[in-house]
Amino acid sequence: MISLGAPWLLLLLPLPLLVWWLVPPHRERESALRFPFFRRMAEAAGAEPRAGAVVLSRPLISVITAALCWALLVLALARPERVGAPITIETAARDVVLAIDISGSMDAKDFATPEGERLQRLAGVRQVVGDFVSGREGDRMALIVFGTAAYLQAPLTDDLTTITELLDTTEVGMAGPHTALGDAIGLSIRTFEASDIDQRLLILLSDGSDTASRMSPVNAAEIAADRGVEIFTIGVGDPDATGENRVDLATLQAIAARTGGQYFFAEDAAALEAVYARIDALAPRETETLSFRPRQSLSWIAMGLAALLGLASVLWLQLRGRRRATVGAERGAA
């Protein structure tokens, strides 16, 4: 489809006609030879001498070419453009960070599947989280794993396949044997600093109690709340265990409460799937839709045609003048 970016400029088309009608012709004084018997010659010829002016005429082709060039230049100013089919782009309206505990306690094989099989906690978590990630198409996600320290495995990206692949390659103890909940929250806050999206969600999964953080998890959660980060916490494991193997449900509840998020506990694969389904319902995928039509300017075509017409007209007039001069010379010689 062809459209004009500034169609109101077409109002300039009749401007030369207005100038021709309203502005008087250009006057030039020319020197003349005066002799005493001019009046007698005029009377003999039957003419009546009087003061006046001669309006020079122009070749018709010059007038037509000038009109066409003016119309083409005005058309170029009106910005003709080819408008393409609409293109729709969906961008994420919320960024999500997954923080997964891979401390030593995640090696326990007490994670029950619906079939009754006992899996390693991390293996069961990987299955459920992988399905959750694949269903978040359109969100930007980042992956953090933590143990004694927290590590950013993948920054915010819409390449969810890479997130899943990186999660599948993680092993228990890769980040150390202890649990650093506060450091994981702090690293998540720094990860969100690279985002210009206001809606930020952290999903924090842990099966232990904080024993290695440099900052209290609750204090880190308060900072996250100030930065607009909402935290959903998920506890897995055994709350009745002792030492580092005991999941600290009270801390996870306090973290979620500080940021206006939600707390969940999952003791097996079915419960964890239900948790992530609940999170998906509470925080559905949000996107911003941008639609635009590509535009290709065609002004250069009109300007090019005007230049070609003007050049052709000048050449034709030059050739016409030379031809007349040659004919006049031949007649004079005869």
Please spell the DSSP secondary structure of 148-184, one letter per residue.
SSEEEEEEEES-HHHHHHHHHH--TTTT-SS--HHHH
Residue 224 banded pLDDT, cuts 50, 70, 90: very high
d(CA 249, CA 79): 65
What residues contact residue 205 under an 8 Å CB cut-off, 6+ apart?
Answer: 98, 99, 100, 101, 125, 129, 233, 234, 236
Residue 162 corresponds to which amino acid?
T
d(CA 282, CA 288): 18
Note the pLDDT of residue 30. 67
Residue 267 reports pLDDT greater than 90: no
Among 33-47, 259-273, 291-305, the range scoring the smallest mean pLDDT is: 33-47
What residues contact residue 138 under an 8 Å CB cut-off, 6+ apart?
Answer: 90, 92, 158, 285, 287
232-189-140-103 Cα dihedral, nearest 10 degrees: -60
Quick check: 204 and 184 in contact, CB under 8 A?
yes
In tens, the pLDDT along 123-177 reads 888 888 888 888 777 678 899 999 999 999 999 988 889 999 999 999 998 998 8
Percent of the chain at pLDDT > 70 equals: 85
Q: Between these two residues, 57 and 311, which has the higher pLDDT value?
A: 311
Phi, psi of 173 (to 5 degrees): 85, -5
Quick check: 217 and 181 in contact, CB under 8 A?
yes
What are the tokens at 254? 């306090």
Note the pLDDT of residue 202. 93
Among 60-69, 76-85, 134-143, 234-243, the range scoring the smallest mean pLDDT is: 234-243
Note the pLDDT of residue 49. 66
Residue 90 banded pLDDT, cuts 50, 70, 90: low
In tens, the pLDDT along 21-75 reads 888 776 667 676 666 776 777 777 776 766 655 656 677 788 888 888 989 999 8
Q: Cβ atoms within 10 A of the Cβ of 33, count?
A: 5
d(CA 128, CA 121): 11
d(CA 93, CA 71): 48
Instruction: Give the highest mean pLDDT range of 84-98, 109-123, 190-204, 316-330.
Output: 190-204
Question: Which residue matches tokens 């990860």?
Answer: 191
Note the pLDDT of residue 119. 81
Give the DSSP letter string of 56-123.
----HHHHHHHHHHHHHHHHHHT-EEEE---EEEEEESEEEEEEEE-SGGGG---EE-TTS-EE-HHH
Q: Between these two residues, 55 and 320, which has the higher pLDDT value?
A: 320
Residue 300 reports pLDDT greater than 80: yes
d(CA 298, CA 292): 19
Three-class SS of residue 297? strand
Note the pLDDT of residue 276. 85
Query: Can you tell me the mean pLDDT for 226-253?
Result: 83
Closest by CA to 149, choosing from 179, 106, 189, is 179
Q: Cβ atoms within 10 A of the Cβ of 50, count?
A: 6
Mean pLDDT, the chain, rounded, equals 83
Write the DSSP symbol of residue 224: H
Note the pLDDT of residue 107. 86
Quick check: 276 and 132 in contact, CB under 8 A?
yes
Note the pLDDT of residue 294. 81
